[in-house]
């Protein structure tokens, strides 16, 4: 049997793992872990840390799996996604949906049984926000799809916060707001780079409906907004000087790439901006943690 035939007909655990969009979920979990640690001056109880993040990750993986099923006819048309397990036929849609249901039920049971109801319901809203509202409706309907859909992806640090404290605090919301402002430059940079593929799949992403220049201007505007929003944890005394310095340097780096895109002289700028966006978010949240333990807690007298 040829390798191609094996690829097409047999599903392995790797295919099921891929359905969960593991690298995206890992970054989300980094933000929810940090959301938990920022929520308290003390140490987060180990069961909340482990079970809370497990529950959130399983629900995010369930949402990602539904996205693979719903988008299979689109995914098969784009080079970036055409080897995905459901699009390629290695995993049948019903089996993938069963897998999503399994992950979602375990995730919700963990959150309801061991964390708290508010975290569980907010996680379910995020799951449905991405799997149903974004994937089934917004993605196909409007170039603002990812701006609105970004609310679901922005939730993890807030979910982490609520898992620890049991209520929604302004500081937790601020963390989600940062990811909300980050999502458009994160995604549109890639969409500019992959414009032709989205056009082929007839998805109304901003570079297709409004053109590349318009998209690049909006990337720059959102990057300014992101820089401003990222200063709020300092302005509200949630975090201190180390964070301020980190947020400014990382934000200026993002602005550099957004301007590079707009100048249009560097053909790799779109992909570089996309890659930078991931490093940016990872680094920003790590610096929050550093600041929390080195500056914010010691000066608050805890
Ligand atoms: C509606 C919101 C979002 C949209 C539309 C979006 C879009 C995308 C797309 C299309 C890719 C695929 C790039 C590729 O396959 O080359 C991607 C990759 C990625 N995204 Fe997002 N994203 C969103 C939100 C998020 C959030 C909230 C996070 C984490 C907090 C995140 C983290 C990542 C990471 C880590 C990757 C790289 C994955 C890899 O290397 O396989 N994204 N994003
Ligand atoms: C419970 C919880 C926290 C839920 C969050 C769910 C989640 C995994 C969101 C991911 C966001 C994302 C990768 C969007 C891209 O989808 P796309 O379909 O536009 O991109 P694609 O073409 O790569 O599939």
Give the ligand 1 atom nearest the CA of 26. Answer: 35
With a 6 Å cutoff on the Cβ, whether 190 touches ligand 1 is yes
Ligand 2 environment, Cβ below 6 A: 21, 24-25, 28, 56, 59-60, 63-64, 67, 71, 81, 123, 126-127, 130, 135, 139, 152-153, 155-156
Report how far ligand 1's centroid is from the alpha carbon of 30 (Å): 14
Residue 204: in which H helix or E strand, if any?
A: none
Contact call for residues 56 and 159 (beta carbons, < 8 A): yes
Q: Which among 114, 121, 113, 152 is positioned nearest to 134, based on CA atoms?
A: 152
Which tokens sit at 204? 């109304």
DSSP string, 29-66: HHHHHHHHHHT-SSPPPHHIIIIIHHHHHHHHHHHHHH
pTM of the model as a whole = 0.95
DSSP string, 250-289: HHHHHHHHHHHHHHT--TTHHHHHHHHHHHHHHHHHHHHH
Give the ligand 2 atom nearest the CA of 64. Answer: 8
Distance CA 182, CA 185 (A): 6
pLDDT digits (tens, 9 = 90+) for 230-269: 999 999 999 999 999 999 999 999 999 999 999 999 999 9
Q: Can you give the pLDDT of all 302 residues of the chain as single tens digits?
A: 333 334 455 789 999 999 999 999 999 999 999 999 999 998 999 999 999 999 999 999 999 999 999 999 999 999 999 999 999 999 999 999 999 999 999 999 999 999 999 999 999 999 999 999 999 999 999 999 999 999 999 999 999 999 999 999 999 999 999 999 999 999 999 999 999 999 999 999 999 999 999 999 999 999 999 999 999 999 999 999 999 999 999 999 999 999 999 999 999 999 999 999 999 999 999 999 999 999 767 776 66
Architecture of domain 1-168 in CATH?
Orthogonal Bundle (1.10)
For residue 107, the model assigns a pLDDT of 99
Report how far ligand 1's centroid is from the alpha carbon of 86 (Å): 19
Domain residue spans in the chain?
1-168, 169-302
Distance CA 101, CA 258 (A): 39
| ipTM passes above 0.85 | yes
Distance CA 103, CA 265 (A): 45
With a 6 Å cutoff on the Cβ, whether 231 touches ligand 1 is no
Q: Which residue has a Cα nearest atom 41 of ligand 1?
A: 23
pLDDT digits (tens, 9 = 90+) for 31-63: 999 999 999 998 999 999 999 999 999 999 999
Ligand closest to the CA atom of residue 71? 2
């Amino acid at each position: 049997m040829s390798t191609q035939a094996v690829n097409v007909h047999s599903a392995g655990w790797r295919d099921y793992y891929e359905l969960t969009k593991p690298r995206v979920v890992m970054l989300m979990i980094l933000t929810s872990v940090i959301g938990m640690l920022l929520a308290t001056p003390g140490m987060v109880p180990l069961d909340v840390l482990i079970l809370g993040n497990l529950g959130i990750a399983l629900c995010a993986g369930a949402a990602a799996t539904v996205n693979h099923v719903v988008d299979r006819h689109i995914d098969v048309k784009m080079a970036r996604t055409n080897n995905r397990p459901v699009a390629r036929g290695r995993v049948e849609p019903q089996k993938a949906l069963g897998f999503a249901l399994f992950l979602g039920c375990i995730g919700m049971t963990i959150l309801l049984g061991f964390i708290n109801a508010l975290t569980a319901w907010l996680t379910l809203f995020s799951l449905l926000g991405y799997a149903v509202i974004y994937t089934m409706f917004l993605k196909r309907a409007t170039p603002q799809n990812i701006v609105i859909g970004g609310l679901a992806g922005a939730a993890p640090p807030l979910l982490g916060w609520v898992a620890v404290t049991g209520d929604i605090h302004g500081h937790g919301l601020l963390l989600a707001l940062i990811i909300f402002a980050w999502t458009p430059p994160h995604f549109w940079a890639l969409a500019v780079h992959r414009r032709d593929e989205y056009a082929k799949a007839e998805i109304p992403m901003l570079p297709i409906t409004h053109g590349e220049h318009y998209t690049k201007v909006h990337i720059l505007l959102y990057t300014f907004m992101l820089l401003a929003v990222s200063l709020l944890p300092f302005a509200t005394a949630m975090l201190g000087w180390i964070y301020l310095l980190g947020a400014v340097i990382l934000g200026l780096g993002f602005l550099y790439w957004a301007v590079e895109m707009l100048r249009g002289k560097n053909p790799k700028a779109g992909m570089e901006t996309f890659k930078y966006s991931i490093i940016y978010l990872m680094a920003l949240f790590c610096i929050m943690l550093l600041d929390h333990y080195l500056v914010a807690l010691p000066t608050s007298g805890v």
